[in-house]
Amino acid sequence: MNAFIRTLGSLVFLIATLLCAAPTHAEDGYDLWMRYHLLAPEQVKRYDSHASQLIIGSTTPTQTATRDELQRGLNGLLGHAPLLSNDINRNGAIIVGTPSSSPLIARLKLDTTSLGNEGYLIRSVAVDGHTATVIVANTDVGALYGAFHFLRLLQTEQSVDHLDIHESPRLKLRVLEHWDYLNGQVERGYAGASIWDWWKLPDWRAPRYTDYARANASIGINGTVLNDVTDGATILTPTYLQKVAALADVFRPYGIRVYLSIRFSAPIEIGGLKTADPLDPQVQRWWREKADEIYRIIPDFGGFLVKANSEGQPGPEDYGRTHADGANVLADAVAPHGGIVMWRTFVYSQNNPDDRAKQAYEEFKPLDGRFRSNVILPVKNGPIDFQPREPFHPLFGAMPKTPLMMEFEITKEYLGFATHLVYLGPLYEEVLSADTMVHGKGSIVAKVIDGSLEGHTLTGMTGDSNIGTDRNWTGSDFNQANWYVFGRLAWNPTLSSRAIADEWVRMTFTNNNAFVKPVVDMMMGSREAVVDYMTPLGLVHLMGPGHHYGPAPWDASESRADWRPVYYHRADHEGIGFDRTSTGSDAVAQYAPPVAEQFNDLKQTPEQFLLFFHHVPWDYRMRSGQTLWYELVAHYSQGVDDVKQMRETWRHMDGYIDDQRYQQVASFLAIQQKEAQWWRDACIAYFQSISGLPLPPGYAPPEKSLKYYESLTFPFVPGYSSWQ
Ligand code: BDP
């Protein structure tokens, strides 16, 4: 009897708990920033009068996608969709299209010449005696971008009265790069497996592909590279090209072209040739025919991305040819079809004893002007490799005759993977606004890549994606912001990362200012926090060997010197840092003279880059008046304190958003704090073993011994696979 009552009791308790706990608005992050949740009643009232009718020019696939998005968005935000109509017969219509597809728009005679192929106007007008908002472009895709902009205004609760918005992208190629393998693994991926289900393609086109395209179109991304830069040649075989074509079909209405990473030795591997020498006529013919074959099934194929003679990949140098020879043979193959080649500059060689930071410049600068006009060179933001902080890459501004595109890493390979909250907007902005000084003050990196500095029209930005099969796409809710900010900056590299964070938070979580303000502040500070707890004062590449997880400043186990942390920090009993001045590796000389002069001078170098350019004695007096050793410990400790503060901020956010996302962020911040502490303690323990100095007063000693930190091993770190 007792047992029966107990069981009954537990059952009642369980049901009661389930009923109470069932979250009313559980959210798993799948909707990204396109949540379209019902706005507050006063906002609905405010916008209702601007969304009575929806008039769309035509029924092309892109206009249909535009109509569906607006209906979905307005239905969600306002609780009802506007009436679909062909003609205006009431106030508050939304009219979308191009002058050629919509007679209504044609009648307005708006000047669209400056909009180009992808720009749009959003304007409040009067048509036939009725008020309306028109979203006008020269192309359907431009109008789609405009529709997303309009929705964003509502999502972020901005005014839609008296609109006169005029937007067109500053960069032509706005590309996401997927480091995905055909077996489903993702190199440096921390959000699950590849979203491309190659096995089931081309017959099964997962709905997720469409949502992926919507998300990209909403921020203006117009290209996607489907496979990893170190992928094999299989992607170019007929079977796989059919699969690629199926994805291209899904993306086309959203203005997204597909690109492929190709393996330079493909003519040998799948073509049966004996060589891949770019000057061999048979090789040239092979690439031409391969391009023809691709364009037969994907007429708007974007082109090729290439990692050649880099980290063991095959390339033209295997045959004594240059990067230009290699790029040009591919460029010639795709040129008749309007394709382009993105030829990466991320090259360095273990056989070259010179400073790794100098090698890309040394190889590519002499080739300036030797590339075909449909070649663009991606340059990583800094000369090493996507570190938490690096100075801008010296190639920016150094190749005036060659289009360069920015390559950012969106996936956080060196920044704590999925669980550390690091908003990359400030990192991107710092590099884009860095002044190369090549044509005097104001020659900022953004102007190099938007083509305005040297008059290039082929321009672009590419981002190494953080997307995977995780339900929330990116491994954490806050990582979505990094995809978002990348797209927004690729559209306009002079936007402010804070403004972008603000709109993202509003769309992703809530418009409640009590949430928005502290969370945006937290995001904006998060990048400096990770710099502090991982690699302060210009240090780089202290991460664990190969997998790049956790601290390993002591590590010298890698096969290549230039993959070892000790190569980068060069700490010894006297001091720490890499001497790249004129008396050291002279990497500074790769910058324009005023910048070179600044970085060459210990006193003038910004302290955030100090140890990147100088080997500095431990007792060197910093600007604060404290010693370098003191400041190093202080920065490491500050990083941990910042994460504690982030947790505190988040604790106060409880209740403002759904519990599911709130809890996951809270848990991830706890992981981040634990790992920040580990970073701080391991690095201080190690550097103290080298400097032999006592900790400054007031700073806690590391929790464990250096031996302990050195003993940690991580056999199954995600994202570390295949080619390594
Ligand atoms: C490095 C990664 C490596 C990439 C390489 C690249 O560690 O996995 O293949 O960049 O960009 O950051 O080619």
Per-residue pLDDT of 187-214, as tens digits, reads: 999 999 999 999 999 999 999 999 999 9
Determine the pLDDT at residue 6. 52
List the beta bridge partners of residue 306.
262, 343
pLDDT band at 25 (very low <50, low <70, confident <90, very high): low
* Average per-residue pLDDT for the chain: 95
Determine the pLDDT at residue 21. 40
**Per-residue pLDDT for 342 more than 80?**
yes
Is the CB–ligand 1 distance for residue 385 below 6 Å?
A: yes
Determine the pLDDT at residue 151. 98
Counting from 1 in the atom list of ligand 1, the atom nearest the Cα of 230 is: 9
| Inter-CA distances, 2 with 6, 7, 13, Å | 6, 9, 16
Counting from 1 in the atom list of ligand 1, the atom nearest the Cα of 228 is: 9
Is the CB–ligand 1 distance for residue 483 below 6 Å?
A: no
Measured CA to CA, the distance from residue 719 to residue 541 in angstroms comes to 17
Determine the pLDDT at residue 40. 96
The amino acid occupying position 323 is H
Counting from 1 in the atom list of ligand 1, the atom nearest the Cα of 380 is: 11
Pocket test for ligand 1, best of 228, 306, 384, 385 (most atoms within 8 A of CB): 385
Pocket test for ligand 1, best of 345, 413, 717 (most atoms within 8 A of CB): 413
Is the CB–ligand 1 distance for residue 413 below 6 Å?
A: yes
Q: Tell me the torsion sign for CA atoms 521, 527, 532, 534.
A: positive
Measured CA to CA, the distance from residue 553 to residue 534 in angstroms comes to 10
Determine the pLDDT at residue 351. 84
**Per-residue pLDDT for 4 more than 80?**
no
| Inter-CA distances, 639 with 33, 76, 335, 635, 644, Å | 29, 40, 49, 6, 9
Map residue 254 onto helix, strand or coil.
helix
CA 440 to ligand 1 centroid distance, Å: 33
pLDDT band at 563 (very low <50, low <70, confident <90, very high): confident
Structure tokens at 242: 């059919």
Per-residue pLDDT of 64-100, as tens digits, reads: 999 999 999 999 999 999 999 999 999 999 999 999 9
CA 724 to ligand 1 centroid distance, Å: 10
Q: Distance between the two ends of the chain, CA-based, in angstroms?
A: 64
Determine the pLDDT at residue 722. 45
Question: For the residues 568-594, what does the mean pLDDT come to?
Answer: 98
**Per-residue pLDDT for 10 more than 70?**
no
**Per-residue pLDDT for 19 more than 50?**
no
Contact partners, residue 640, CB within 8 Å, separation at least 6: 533, 673, 676, 677, 680
Measured CA to CA, the distance from residue 404 to residue 379 in angstroms comes to 7
Backbone angles phi, psi at 440, to 5 degrees: 80, 180
Backbone angles phi, psi at 511, to 5 degrees: -90, 0
Do residues 507 and 518 make contact, with C-beta atoms less than 8 angstroms apart?
no
Is the CB–ligand 1 distance for residue 323 below 6 Å?
A: no
- β pairing state of 164-167 and 404-409: unpaired
**Per-residue pLDDT for 22 more than 80?**
no
Per-residue pLDDT of 496-538, as tens digits, reads: 999 999 999 999 999 999 999 999 999 999 999 999 999 999 9
Read out DSSP for 123-173? EEEEETTEEEEEEE-SSHHHHHHHHHHHHHHHHTT---SS-EEEE--S-SE
Determine the pLDDT at residue 599. 98
Is the CB–ligand 1 distance for residue 379 below 6 Å?
A: no
Determine the pLDDT at residue 23. 39
- β pairing state of 575-576 and 375-380: unpaired
Per-residue pLDDT of 441-466, as tens digits, reads: 999 999 999 999 999 999 999 999 99
Assign a CATH topology to domain 173-508.
TIM Barrel (3.20.20)
Q: CATH number of 41-167: 3.30.379.10, 3.40.50.620, 2.60.130.10, 3.30.530.20? A: 3.30.379.10
CA 188 to ligand 1 centroid distance, Å: 8
Determine the pLDDT at residue 615. 98
**Where are the chain's structural domains?**
41-167, 173-508, 532-578+615-711
Burial letters for 642-663: b for 16+ Cβ neighbours within 10 Å, e otherwise?
A: bbbebbeebeebeeebbbebbe
**Per-residue pLDDT for 12 more than 90?**
no
Do residues 357 and 587 make contact, with C-beta atoms less than 8 angstroms apart?
yes
Question: For the residues 217-225, what does the mean pLDDT come to?
Answer: 99
**Per-residue pLDDT for 24 more than 60?**
no
Is the CB–ligand 1 distance for residue 346 below 6 Å?
A: yes
Determine the pLDDT at residue 560. 84
Determine the pLDDT at residue 561. 86
Among 219, 23, 17, residue whose Cα is nearest residue 664 = 23
Counting from 1 in the atom list of ligand 1, the atom nearest the Cα of 464 is: 11
Do residues 104 and 127 make contact, with C-beta atoms less than 8 angstroms apart?
yes
Per-residue pLDDT of 472-505, as tens digits, reads: 999 999 999 999 999 999 999 999 999 999 999 9
CA 314 to ligand 1 centroid distance, Å: 15
Is the CB–ligand 1 distance for residue 230 below 6 Å?
A: yes
pLDDT band at 26 (very low <50, low <70, confident <90, very high): confident
Map 685-723 to HEC letters.
HHHHHHHCCCCCCCCCCCCCCHHHHHHCCCCCCCCCCCC
Measured CA to CA, the distance from residue 584 to residue 574 in angstroms comes to 16
CA 448 to ligand 1 centroid distance, Å: 24
Map residue 305 onto helix, strand or coil.
strand
Question: For the residues 21-43, what does the mean pLDDT come to?
Answer: 84
Is the CB–ligand 1 distance for residue 307 below 6 Å?
A: yes
Structure tokens at 321: 């040819």
Determine the pLDDT at residue 15. 44
Question: For the residues 344-372, what does the mean pLDDT come to?
Answer: 95
Residue found under tokens 């391991």: 682
List the beta bridge partners of residue 135.
96, 122
Per-residue pLDDT of 129-176, as tens digits, reads: 999 999 999 999 999 999 999 999 999 999 999 999 999 999 999 999
Per-residue pLDDT of 261-301, as tens digits, reads: 999 999 999 999 999 999 999 999 999 999 999 999 999 99
**Per-residue pLDDT for 14 more than 50?**
no
Do residues 415 and 404 make contact, with C-beta atoms less than 8 angstroms apart?
no
DSSP E strands, 601-643: 616-617
Structure tokens at 358: 């100098």
Q: 338-352, 443-457, 458-472, 690-704 — which is least confidently predicted?
A: 338-352
Structure tokens at 403: 């289009």
Is the CB–ligand 1 distance for residue 360 below 6 Å?
A: no
Question: For the residues 404-418, what does the mean pLDDT come to?
Answer: 98
CA 145 to ligand 1 centroid distance, Å: 32
pLDDT band at 721 (very low <50, low <70, confident <90, very high): low
Measured CA to CA, the distance from residue 329 to residue 677 in angstroms comes to 51
**Per-residue pLDDT for 125 more than 80?**
yes
Do residues 145 and 256 make contact, with C-beta atoms less than 8 angstroms apart?
no
CA 409 to ligand 1 centroid distance, Å: 9
Is the CB–ligand 1 distance for residue 408 below 6 Å?
A: no
Residue whose CA lies nearest to ligand 1 atom number 1:
385
Map residue 487 onto helix, strand or coil.
helix
Measured CA to CA, the distance from residue 557 to residue 577 in angstroms comes to 20
Q: Tell me the torsion sign for CA atoms 660, 662, 665, 666.
A: negative
Is the CB–ligand 1 distance for residue 178 below 6 Å?
A: no
Residue whose CA lies nearest to ligand 1 atom number 10:
385
Do residues 261 and 306 make contact, with C-beta atoms less than 8 angstroms apart?
yes
Residues carrying an active site annotation: 311, 385, 413
Q: How far is CA 559 from the centre of its chain?
A: 29
Contact partners, residue 422, CB within 8 Å, separation at least 6: 412, 415, 416, 482, 526, 527, 529, 530
CA 54 to ligand 1 centroid distance, Å: 47
List the beta bridge partners of residue 444.
435
Per-residue pLDDT of 42-59, as tens digits, reads: 999 999 999 999 999 899
Do residues 610 and 616 make contact, with C-beta atoms less than 8 angstroms apart?
yes
Read out DSSP for 32-67? TT---PPPPHHHHHHHHTT-SEEEES--SHHHHHHH
Determine the pLDDT at residue 409. 98
List the beta bridge partners of residue 377.
404
Give percent above pLDDT 90 in the chain: 94
Counting from 1 in the atom list of ligand 1, the atom nearest the Cα of 311 is: 13
CA 307 to ligand 1 centroid distance, Å: 10
Counting from 1 in the atom list of ligand 1, the atom nearest the Cα of 307 is: 13
Q: CATH number of 532-578+615-711: 3.30.420.40, 3.40.190.10, 3.30.300.30, 3.90.1330.10? A: 3.90.1330.10
Counting from 1 in the atom list of ligand 1, the atom nearest the Cα of 310 is: 13
Is the CB–ligand 1 distance for residue 229 below 6 Å?
A: yes
Counting from 1 in the atom list of ligand 1, the atom nearest the Cα of 187 is: 8
List the beta bridge partners of residue 130.
127
CA 591 to ligand 1 centroid distance, Å: 24
